[in-house]
Chain A
Amino acid sequence: MAGVYATRQARSLAPATSLELILEAVRGAVADAGLELGDVDGVAVDWPGPGGLVGDCASWAPVIGHELAWVGSAQLDNAGARGVLKAAAAIQAGLCDVAVVGGGQSGAYTSNVDPGAVTEFVTWTGASVMAQFALVAQRHMHEFGTTPEQLATVAATIRNNGSVNPEAIMFERGPYAVRDVLASRFVAEPLHLLDCCLVGEGAAAVVLVAADRRPDLRQPAVELLGGGMGFGDGGYVAPPSLTKAREVGTSAARRMFGLAGVRPSDVDVFCLYDATSFEVIHHLETLGVCEFGEGGPFVESGAIGRDGSAPVNPDGGCLAFAWNGTQQMTLKVIECIRQLRGTAVNPVDRDVDVAVATNAGSGANHIEMAVFGK
């Protein structure tokens, strides 16, 4: 993992266009690696236009300045753990040597209640993204006795990380106590406003290189140690269920930790998908950091704080740092790498040798994860 770059993240970055932001991120990540744009021969980066087919990564060839040896196939392949794993696989297969993964958006989202996809047996209900996540959380509370206070503990912990991160959209907002989260209005029960992530804009990119390019690099090397993915269904097609949420990702976690040769207890920092406070509990359980059903008491113990046994989202996550569409996934990878390099804005209270990023979405229908080390 040779280079990383995140643009400024904000609720709105107009009049910057998506392409301008993405180009800044790509150039920034390549420079961070100590490489030139012309060194890049693999691209999994959003192409929003103008010019070219929207979504076609091959449109980057004229920008890079030469033919590309490998491209991604757009959307989620260009982001986060999934993007990094596929690019790494391409490099390992010998298809390219220097790959960029990333993207971004400016001005694309105006509402946080529409999942976007039109699916016949979901759309008629009016189910928003947050309400679909709420269904999984509610069932977890029913089965395991998880409490609103435990969800609020997640929200307060991660939001308080963001409130001391000058790069965060919610910098200097808070600090929040559990009671503040519970006092915020409901969006979709059991989720309060402060249990729900931000909606914003920004871009991000990371650069991966083949192992033999390491001497060219400017930064201390961070290795991708392993990863895993699980897909239970297409997005927003079927009702989100806790049963499916418990299945999807469990084998991915086994695969990831197996490839890396590490255990969940070896992980020094977690950058987890926090579309809602509950998702953090879900991901900790999926990763095997705690048992299924025990995520509530686990977070309530203080474990996920920067001084805890399993620090989560020290940058403030999607709840307080930034959410910028699919590239929030890349921000999770970037924070892992910054924690490993020792350049994170909010370092955790321990030496970081192993960091895990998780991405997910669509209620609980897919999950992707990667583990990084020095």
Chain B
Amino acid sequence: MTAPFWAALSAGVLTVPTCDECGRTFFPPVIVCTHCAGSWKWGEATGRGVVYSFSVVHRHDALPTPWVLAVVRLECGPLFLTRLVGIEPGAVEVGLEVVLQPTSDGDGTLVPTFGPATPEVVSR
């Protein structure tokens, strides 16, 4: 069900489940549209959004700290859990405009991280 998401991401495109019936989007994917229970297909999202909430993580087994966990409100509506990259943790705030900026995880997999939409907001 989710292979198309990762295939699109490797081309730098964020996709989200888009309902065949009501046209609305949601995330994460489940078997039917969470708004109307209709069938859905992966549809292209803009990759833009704003930070709904975030946490600067200081203690972690795997990733070098500090790093920023964030929930992004995508332009098309759904909330998306991600990590923020390319920005000083101290510069992150709720409402910050961000854009999809995929990065390579440890094993070479591309993951859907986000970065600041405007380059000047990299540090504060």
Contact = CB atoms under 8 A, between A and B. Distances in A.
B55 A120 contact: no
Interface string B1-38: 01000000000000000000000000110000000000
Main secondary structure of the interface of B (DSSP, over half): strand
Interface of A: 111, 113-114, 119-122, 124-128, 130-132, 134-136, 138-139, 142, 185-191, 237-242
A187 B81 CA distance: 19
27 contacts: A111-B61, A113-B59, A113-B60, A114-B61, A122-B81, A125-B81, A126-B83, A127-B69, A127-B81, A128-B59, A130-B59, A131-B57, A131-B69, A132-B69, A135-B55, A135-B69, A138-B53, A139-B94, A186-B56, A188-B55, A188-B59, A189-B56, A189-B57, A238-B28, A239-B81, A240-B71, A241-B53
Nearest to B109: A124
A53 B50 CA distance: 47
A241 B58 contact: no
B52 to A, nearest CB: 7
B71 A239 contact: yes
List the 4 shortest-distance A-B pairs measured between CB atoms, nearest first: A134-B55, A239-B81, A139-B53, A186-B58
Given A113-B60, A128-B60, A191-B55, 14 more contacts: A121-B27, A124-B105, A127-B69, A131-B69, A135-B70, A185-B59, A186-B56, A187-B57, A189-B55, A237-B28, A239-B80, A240-B71, A241-B71, A241-B79
Given A113-B60, A126-B62, A135-B54, A238 B79 contact: yes
Contacts of A113: 59-61
